[in-house]
Amino acid sequence: MTRAHHGPAAALAAAGLAMVLICGCGGSPGVPVGPEPGTAEHGPAELDITFRWMPSPVFGLFGPEGTFVRAYIESFELADAGRSTTWGYHGFVAASPSNIDSMIAAYPPDVSSERPGVGTAIFTGLRRVDDGNWTRIVLCRHGYRSVRDDRASGSSWTSRSDPPRPVEIDFRRVGAGPPDVRSGTNRTPDGDMFGDWRTTRLDFAAIYPTPTGDQNACATMTPPGVPQRAPAHSRQPWPTMAPSPGWSATSLL
């Protein structure tokens, strides 16, 4: 899950650092105000989230590879928020390493049933490594989050942009590949999005005390469409953005 020379303690500390809630006062003008969050098509009550994937030369968003990467990363984020693999898309556990429960436990979320969140996660490809049927794709994760805290004086939601960070996924192409899918308006897909392919390693917060080249690259990368907002306290969460490219109603072509 993490590089061996950093050790599990460093990985846990790094994950916690990446997910820590950054509070600030006041908001930036022009920030849209949305309604109270609704229920996602498939997701834990702790987190009402949408996913946006920005095109890049690193990998295509469609076809078997794009389907696998998008479905696995989205599944892991939902499973992490809900603290259970059951929130992953159909086939998620079978496509995961045998220690998937421990992997999820290693990344403490910043939302809970007492402090639910609303937001959008935005991913773009940074680089890739290929070796036969094995591939590593490094992504940069951006986005924003509003977390409810009714105990806060004079406000109900704390909103902030997520610190950008690398996400690393390793996978092998074995057996039947994932299906081709078309874009759509649904947040989540129907059916098995993984085929027989398997993830062999995932580092969902690949950050370290001594910043790596990937950390520096993600920190300086601001893909088009990533909102730039100052932290804020308010009575409403920042609304989610529409999923992109999203999932079609039937998923399969």
Cβ 173 vs Cβ 195: under 8 Å: no
Two tokens at 35?
A: 């309604």
The pLDDT assigned to 42 comes to: 67
Two tokens at 14?
A: 């790094």
- What does pLDDT average to over the chain? 83
pTM of the model as a whole: 0.82
C-alpha 59/C-alpha 37 separation (Å) is: 32
Peptide bond into 245 cis (omega under 30): yes
**DSSP assignment of 92-158:** TTTTS-TTHHHHHHTS--S--SSS-EEEEEEEEEEEEEEETTEEEEEEEEEEEEEEE-TTSTT-SEE
C-alpha 144/C-alpha 65 separation (Å) is: 26
The pLDDT assigned to 27 comes to: 34
pLDDT band, residue 12 (cuts 50/70/90): very low
Out of 10-24, 114-128, 139-153, 169-183, least confident range: 10-24
- Mean predicted confidence (pLDDT) in 112-135: 95
Beta bridge partners of 201: 170
Of residues 175 and 182, more confidently modeled: 175
Per-residue pLDDT tens digits for 19-75:
332 223 333 333 333 333 333 456 898 999 999 999 999 999 999 999 999 999 999
Q: Please list, in sequence order, all residues whose beta carbon lies within 8 angstroms of the beta carbon of residue 157, skipping any fewer than 6 positions away.
A: 118, 146, 147, 148, 149, 233, 234, 235, 236, 237, 238
